Structure 1
Amino acid sequence: MSDRRIWTLEEEDVMISILEGIVAEGGRCDTGSFRSGTYEHVASKMREKINDINIIAKHVQNKMKRLKDEYSIAYDMFNTSGFGWDDTHKCVTVDGPEILEAYLKKHPNKNYTANRPFPHYERPVIVFGKDRATCSMAESAADALDHIGLEHEESNTVGFT
């Protein structure tokens, strides 16, 4: 079985719902990472909920990593001057090509682009918490200080905790 697969919106929604339940039940370690066996548990639950789905733990692991990366990028774009959010199309918008060009010059390894739909944007914060950094996405101390105020403001205005 290949490690690559194409996910439907329904499958993403089911996976995120399962992960939200795991988080609500305390399924993350003190470090914020998920407990051992989470990927297999999610794959098993998905097989129960979706008929004829052919999914393994590695698929879940890969999708979770990609979702976290996409969320981190969309979050950073959304909180950068010149970017916004289109609630109708569920995507980050950009005020002009020069803004996007400047952003991509500063952040060349981004996997998410403005104007591409991200229908689950608001849900990953529940799954991943406020720690958006991954090995390839770690923030500098200056970036972290800049984001502290934004995350606090977001949690007070959007209802995230």
Structure 2
Amino acid sequence: MDNSLVDALVEQVNLGLKSDNGFKPKTYKATIREINETCGILLENRHISNRLRTLKRLYISIKDLLSASGFGWDSDKKMIVATDDSHPYAERVRGKHIDRWDDLAFIFGNDCAHRSFASTA
């Protein structure tokens, strides 16, 4: 389902249905329709919103990690390369493939604040 969701969201971004504040309401309808047809399951807006939040958190975590010293990206293998084992997250990501990283960056890239720059309420 995640691949279908990412495909649908990339299409919506290409159609210009994403604003600075996130996706427009008709994006959710189109995405739900596409996933329901592709995967043969019945999803609702809340399912898409929840999964979108999870994917966005994943994107932000990986982006933050890649900006840390000792981490890099192997675009051929689509994985994080950790040269420094001292980071607490290094062991969890070593050797882990992230096939859709480029698409996640396309979907979330311009609207995610870095944690070090994000304000807290």
TM-score band (shorter)?
0.7 to 0.9
Distance 1:132 1:139 in 2: 11
Q: Name the structure 2 match of 1:24.
A: 14
Distance 2:115 2:27 in 1: 23
CA spacing shift, 1:129–1:140, aligned 2, 3 Å: closer
Larger radius of gyration: 1
1:61 paired with 2:49, answer yes
1:71 paired with 2:59, answer yes
Distance 1:78 1:33 in 2: 23
TM-score by length of 1: 0.61
Secondary structure at the counterpart of residue 18 of structure 2 = coil
Amino acid across the alignment from 1:122? D
Q: Name the structure 2 match of 1:144.
A: none
Q: CA RMSD in A?
A: 2.4
Higher strand fraction (1 or 2): 2
Return 5+ residue gaps in structure 2 as ranges: none
Amino acid across the alignment from 1:20? V
1:38 paired with 2:27, answer yes
Return 5+ residue gaps in structure 1 as ranges: 1-10, 105-112, 142-161
Shift of 1:139: 4.0
